[in-house]
């Protein structure tokens, strides 16, 4: 199967955009025939939350762009582009009593693969996520996790 572009949304870099995007992507992927969307919702939530908390997209007038593509049977790519930050997104080890810092570890655990790349606007973080049960005989082949540009 070749890659099939499904949707793109540009939203304000504000926390209120996160549930809107989650609902839109859920409806769009359901309409495209994808069934197991919990991983996609979690990954999208974490990537969007990072964009609106840790990047210049959170500043007044800041924006975040989200693209969703189907890249295989039961496999989608979520791409989040923000206005950039002083650091490059990377997973970190959080202490048990910390409230934050686990988002990219969750993205890594829930994704077939993921990565970052600089963009003209700032930083792009992408993840490829299964939308079928992994134990299902028809589930997509799960590539190993890797962190690099597309």
Question: 130 has which bridge partners?
Answer: 75
What's the burial of 111, exposed, middle or buried (CB within 10 Å: 0-12/13-18/19+)?
buried
pLDDT in tens, 30-70: 999 999 999 999 999 999 999 999 999 999 999 999 999 99
What's the whole-model pTM score? Answer: 0.84
Domains of the chain plus CATH, in order, are: 4-130 (3.30.565.10)
Residue 33 to residues 30, 37, 41, 127: CA-CA distances in angstroms?
5, 11, 15, 19
pLDDT in tens, 13-23: 999 999 999 99
pLDDT at 137 (0 to 100): 43
* pLDDT: which is higher, 147 or 84: 84
The sheet that has 123-130: what strands, in order across it?
A: 4-12, 63-72, 75-82, 123-130, 113-118
**Contacts for 51 with CB less than 8 Å, ≥ 6 apart:** 13, 57, 58, 64, 80, 82, 125
Classify 47 in phi/psi space as left (phi over 0), alpha (psi -120 to 50) or beta. Answer: alpha
- 74 pLDDT higher than 80: yes
pLDDT at 121 (0 to 100): 84
pLDDT in tens, 90-133: 655 655 555 554 568 889 999 999 999 999 889 999 999 999 87
pLDDT at 80 (0 to 100): 97
- 139 pLDDT higher than 50: no
pLDDT at 143 (0 to 100): 46
Distance between CA atoms of residues 147 and 117, nearest Å? 9
**The tokens of 89 are what?**
């997104």
């Amino acid at each position: 199967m070749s890659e099939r572009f499904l949707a793109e949304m540009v939203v304000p870099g504000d926390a209120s955009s996160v549930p809107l995007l989650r609902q839109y992507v859920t409806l769009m992927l359901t309409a495209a025939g994808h069934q197991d969307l919990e991983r996609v919702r979690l990954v999208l939530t974490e990537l969007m939350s990072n964009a609106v908390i840790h990047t210049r997209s959170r500043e007044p007038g800041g924006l975040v762009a989200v693209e969703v593509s189907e890249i295989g049977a039961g496999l989608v790519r979520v791409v989040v582009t923000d206005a950039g930050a002083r650091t490059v997104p990377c997973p970190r080890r959080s202490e048990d009593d910390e409230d934050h810092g686990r988002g990219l570890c969750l993205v890594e655990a829930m994704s077939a693969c993921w990565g970052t790349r600089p963009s003209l606007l700032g930083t792009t973080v992408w993840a490829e996520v299964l939308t079928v049960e992994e134990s299902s005989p028809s589930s997509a082949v799960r590539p190993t996790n890797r962190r690099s540009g597309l």
